[in-house]
Structure 1
Amino acid sequence: MFTVFYTDFTVMTNPFPYPGLRPYEQNETGIFFGREEHTDQLLEKLGQTRFLAIVGPSGCGKSSLARAGLLAGLKAGFLSEAGIHWRIAEMRPGNSPYPNLAQVLLDESILGKAYATYSTEENTDAAASLSASLSRGPFSLHEILQNTPLPPDTHLLLLVDQFEEIFRYYDRGKDNVNEAAAFVSLLLTTAQRTRAPIQKQGHINIYVVITMRDEYIRDCALFQGLPEAINQGIFLPPRLTRDQLREAIELPAQVFGDEVEPALVNRLLNQVSNDQDQLPVLQHALMRMWRLAHAENPDHAILTLKHYNKIGGLEKALSQHADRAYAELDPAQQQIAETLFRNLTGANNTRRPVKLAKIATLANVSSEQVAVVVEVFRKAGRSFLTPPLGKALTPETVLDISHESLIRLWQRLKNWTDDEAESAKLYQRLEDSAYRWNQEQAALWRTPDLENALAWYKKKQPNAHWAKRYGKHFDLAMRFLAESEKNQQREQYEKEVAQKQKLKIIGVGFIVSLFLALTAGWQWWESSRNLKLANEAKQQSQQTQSLLLAGLAQQETVKGNA
């Protein structure tokens, strides 16, 4: 049934037949092919459960299926029992789940002025008031909609994209644990029809859909009722078959009056592997090739193997494209870009949304300078960062990487993230040792840890803003490092002094020994000389005596002859 919808829907709001790295949007159903069957299954399941969990690995198309498939199908009236009048509130939990929910509900298409008129709280804006109201309990959204009801026969669908962010928020501390649990309870209660007491009956026209990476399934047990709800409403997006992939490759180009040559189609079908990045990488490569082909022939672009080879194939297209954007920056802007992407990347190659103003603080530049760099990476045909091109950038704008495949496949970013991980690991060890040292439970660092830490500090020049991401005691860690260096310098000085003393003692001993040796030698020489003189005198005396005896003997002989 959904194929007819695709055929009739206009797509000219999108300048490209392929979205590239980012997910499809609601208004891009006309170029969203290969998922019709899956969309029908989603609609059927949502009608049965009112709570739907689209769960799968990164890159399997969860967000695109929810937006360009499910949401577009709802607005087209394909959930027959619900009709065609829908209000869609799409959000991500991020670091502020309640304020983020309040912000999307205040959109003109949902509550808008109706809530502002209803709210009578003074000295507070509508967003803060609504956020506070939502956090009062699990039935709060029901109560708000009873006081500011939607138009007749209108349904509300709450889409919580990247639901796994709630688990990361949960891990940040005790206060976050309680708030995360309350927020999940609000979502579950909102989607239930009959579990609430009669006086607090849920608004019967509310549906909740979440998208979540499958590696977080085991974490669902952290929240009461969430495993049960997911068991009832889970949808695992199947991998596209070869025929479905062919449709996703060929049909968007045909919608634009263009084509993909059969040889290229076969190469892509054979090249697309079973890894988690197959869909975003394929869409990015198709977008790149279409732009090259369209530049050659705007009236009838034909994507060929020549374009495939020019972009570097599926394996290198994304990395080379990101490098081209990076090469457009001057050295100072490249430093900003490195700081930007390091901080937009979280542990285990996950996305980590950050406000533009915080990037400016970390890079020690103005928000305007950061915005210039962001524009380079989100210009038409790139879409490496969100928000997308066309949305104004302010210091409060939350920046994000459009898809995690960029983190895994851009070699330069992989090098940055590997280096960032090493820096974080060293700093956390440093801070842990500093904390224990301050509690008199550990000693100051010495070689080789100290030399490694000092070399890291000299090269990276960390500051408190950077360190806040990895710990809480930056000043203590720096004091510990400085004291360790002083202690080693003091020990080295004392060692050198002791060595000099030792050399001095050895020198004096050598001189004394030499003197004694010389004295002994002189005495030996003198004694030898005296002995020699005595022997010579003795020999002389003996010779003289011999001569005298010989003379007397001769005289006696002469006398006898006479």
Structure 2
Amino acid sequence: MSARGSMPERSRQEQPGRQRSRPGRSGPMAGRRERPLDPEAGPVERFACGLRELRAAAGGPTYREMAHVAGYSASTLAAAAAGDQLPSLPVALAYTSVCGGGTEEWAALWHETAVAVERQQVVRVADDPDTTRPPYRGLVRYEPGDRDLFFGREQTLGRLVELVRAHRLVILTGASGSGKSSLLRAGLLPALRPYPENGATGRSAPIGQGHGGAAGPVRSGTAGPVPGGVVGPVPRGTVGPVRCAAVRVLTPGPRPAAAHAPAFVPPPAGSGDAFVIVDQFEQVFTLCDDPAERARFLRLLLAAREPGSRLRVVVAVRADFYGRCTEHPGLVEAVREAHLPIGPMTPAELRRAVVGPARSARLVVERDLAARIVEETAAEPGGLPLMSHALLEVWHRRRGRTLTLAAYEAVGGIHGAVADTAEHTYQRLTPEQARHARRILLRLITPGQGAPDTRRPAPRAELETADGAAAVCEHLSRARLITLDDDTADLAHDALITAWPRLRDWVDEERARLVVHCRLTADAATWAGRHQDPGALYRGTRLATAREAFPPPHEGLTAAERAFLTAAITAATTVRRDEERARDRVVRRLRRSAAARAALLALVLLALVPLAGVIAW
């Protein structure tokens, strides 16, 4: 809402002490004529117009005459009605008192105007170019390069490092929004780098392998290099330093074993251990529909537990999928040996997470803001991404080097900031772009079936099929609603699904269709991967459901999905036509057989007629 719309409107009849008169007119005793003001230009101008009208209704005394009664100089009283800035409350009340205005009513109007002015001073500046690095990441996770901004999880990180030293497979669980991904990337990954104070020197690490065996930087969905070193500093009661040969970071995706088997190849003997970080492990259950593929990936994970594997694996999974993990005996054993649950941050930890990044950027957080956001986040399960996003929006509205409570309230707090940013981003789109945005965002969501909805990474080629879609992706990425890398897009966080009412409504409206679409996308990829094997095409009920969800011309489908569905329809049509032809042949054969039997019967009857006559004689 703009500052103009944020101040309660009052009609002329409701304005205290106001009578109908033309604004800007001061009567015969006015002296110098005042410049015209537009009451719609803002809250200060609107207040000044009210003062002028009140003065005109009082007969238009000059400011020198008013000064004798008010106790303020004529220039001070003239400035109060100039519309350049809001006068102080004592000056405003002195002005209105001389002109016969009610003190309580004008005091209330002054306070309303002051609030509107405060909100006007924290208007959104996020769309303005700003090359300054934000101290908060918003909905997106913290990366290794954000280590200097990552605060609040120091004790949890120490326990994680301790477990990683002592065990080859560690399971990390926490609610959505508890900061698992940030802990792994901005906490654990930097801890794997060499620490000179440990007296160890790291070797250069071999490059890890990502999708298709291509080398790449550390990021979600790929495996990449981190300089070799030792995990440190060494906590008490743990095993000695573990040399790190390489770090490979991945998210499972729909085909985890096929896509990420190279990440589990051990490094050369003597170089140390390779660390495999598996983030968003729940994708094994939400995106991978093939039980055999899932079992192969789990075998890769569990093989790391062997003493000579030269692998150390850290798995992060959402707490609501913990039960699915216990369905596999090997994972149960791993959980029993090395499991670290991440709970909510304590108030002290939350305060460090709020104040620490600001101090690193030489910013000041108002005491009242820190207290409010800590209180609200502590009462919100999984609220860390909401807190981070609210702080990012407050930073965009900072006053000098100060992050203010007024800015926090202007964005709606932790519950309203995400919706405010998302709506602001959406409303700036043209109608055609808005349709692209809806399609893109829904494609990045896997609807839960007995579980919460989750985000779904997707190839950019899948999203950017229509003209203008790529620009929409970039627009959403600049607002930090989605993340983009070279070939993949993803929602910034699962919290966006629940925190933005418009997106939540879209998902609810199209839930049944989204379930069909997600399965269709995966099955189309499987069909293409099997060289368009006819045996992988839809038939029967599944085909009927897909045809109902995506009738011709199959809008909303990619070329690959459309080819898959079209091939299934064509195959079904061919089968039905062949069945009809076979049925027609059977019918014709039966008809010919019936005709032949009828003819034979007729001949028999004809042959029996003379015999019947002989017998009768």
TM-score by length of 2: 0.55
Aligned ranges 1:170-249 → 2 under 5 Å = 170-171=288-289, 173=290, 177-193=291-307, 201-203=308-310, 206-223=311-328, 225-249=330-354
* Equivalent residue number for residue 163 of structure 1: 281
Q: By percentage of residues, which structure has more helix?
A: 1
Quick check: which has more Rg, 1 or 2? 1
Aligned ranges 1:45-56 → 2 under 5 Å = 45-56=163-174
1:337 paired to 2:437:
yes
Corresponding residue to 1:346 among 442, 446, 451:
446
Deviation at 1:305, TM superposition (A): 1.7
Deviation at 1:59, TM superposition (A): 0.3
Q: Distance in 1 between matches of 2:539 and 2:433?
A: 36
Amino acid at match of 1:323: E
1:399 paired to 2:476:
no
1:312 paired to 2:412:
yes
Unaligned runs of 5+ in 2: 1-130, 229-256, 519-537, 574-617
**Structure 1 residues 324-383: Cα deviation after superposition (integer angstroms, max 9, x where no partner):** 11122211111111110010011122011111111234xxx14xx32211111122xx32
Amino acid at match of 1:190: A
Q: Distance in 1 between matches of 2:200 and 2:347?
A: 34
Deviation at 1:192, TM superposition (A): 2.7
Corresponding residue to 2:481 among 344, 363, 384:
384
Q: Distance in 1 between matches of 2:198 and 2:168?
A: 14
Deviation at 1:312, TM superposition (A): 1.9
- Contact preservation (8 Å) 1:86, 1:157: no
1:303 paired to 2:303:
no
1:71 paired to 2:186:
no
- Tell me the SS of whatever aligns to 1:33: coil
- Tell me the SS of whatever aligns to 1:156: strand
- Contact preservation (8 Å) 2:216, 2:224: no
- Contact preservation (8 Å) 1:87, 1:110: yes
Residues 41 and 286 (structure 1 numbering): CA distance in 2 closer, same or farther, change over 3 Å? Answer: same
Corresponding residue to 1:475 among 569, 572, 577:
569
* Equivalent residue number for residue 516 of structure 1: none
Q: Distance in 1 between matches of 2:415 and 2:302?
A: 41
- Contact preservation (8 Å) 2:209, 2:223: no
- Contact preservation (8 Å) 1:356, 1:399: yes
Q: Distance in 2 between matches of 1:224 and 1:471?
A: 38
Residues 257 and 43 (structure 1 numbering): CA distance in 2 closer, same or farther, change over 3 Å? Answer: same
- Contact preservation (8 Å) 1:74, 1:86: no
- Contact preservation (8 Å) 1:75, 1:85: no
Aligned ranges 1:126-165 → 2 under 5 Å = 141-142=265-266, 145-146=267-268, 154-165=272-283
Corresponding residue to 1:57 among 159, 175, 183:
175
Q: Could you say which structure has the greater relative contact order, defined with CA pairs below 8 angstroms and 6 or more residues apart? A: 1
Deviation at 1:257, TM superposition (A): 1.2
Q: Distance in 1 between matches of 2:168 and 2:470?
A: 40
- Tell me the SS of whatever aligns to 1:272: helix
* Equivalent residue number for residue 20 of structure 2: none
Corresponding residue to 2:138 among 20, 26, 31:
20
Corresponding residue to 1:285 among 390, 407, 417:
390
Amino acid at match of 1:183: F
* Equivalent residue number for residue 514 of structure 1: none
- Contact preservation (8 Å) 1:85, 1:154: no
Residues 360 and 438 (structure 1 numbering): CA distance in 2 closer, same or farther, change over 3 Å? Answer: closer
Q: Distance in 1 between matches of 2:216 and 2:331?
A: 22
- Contact preservation (8 Å) 1:53, 1:233: yes
* Equivalent residue number for residue 505 of structure 2: 415
Amino acid at match of 1:309: E
> Sequence identity, in percent?
27
**Structure 1 residues 245-297: Cα deviation after superposition (integer angstroms, max 9, x where no partner):** 1111112111111111111112112222443331000000001101210xx42
1:29 paired to 2:129:
no
Q: Distance in 1 between matches of 2:404 and 2:553?
A: 47
* Equivalent residue number for residue 483 of structure 1: none
- Contact preservation (8 Å) 1:134, 1:141: no
Q: Distance in 1 between matches of 2:371 and 2:342?
A: 24
Q: Distance in 2 between matches of 1:47 and 1:426?
A: 44
Unaligned runs of 5+ in 1: 1-12, 112-130, 194-200, 429-433, 480-562
Amino acid at match of 2:474: E
1:325 paired to 2:425:
yes
- Contact preservation (8 Å) 1:170, 1:180: yes
Q: Distance in 2 between matches of 1:25 and 1:217?
A: 25
- Contact preservation (8 Å) 2:554, 2:562: no
Amino acid at match of 2:464: A
Q: Distance in 2 between matches of 1:346 and 1:470?
A: 20
Corresponding residue to 1:265 among 364, 370, 392:
370
- Contact preservation (8 Å) 1:87, 1:155: no
Residues 239 and 409 (structure 1 numbering): CA distance in 2 closer, same or farther, change over 3 Å? Answer: same
* Equivalent residue number for residue 460 of structure 2: 356
Residues 212 and 427 (structure 1 numbering): CA distance in 2 closer, same or farther, change over 3 Å? Answer: closer
Amino acid at match of 1:164: E
Q: Distance in 1 between matches of 2:147 and 2:516?
A: 47
The alignment yields a C-alpha RMSD, in angstroms, of 4.3
- Contact preservation (8 Å) 1:250, 1:260: yes
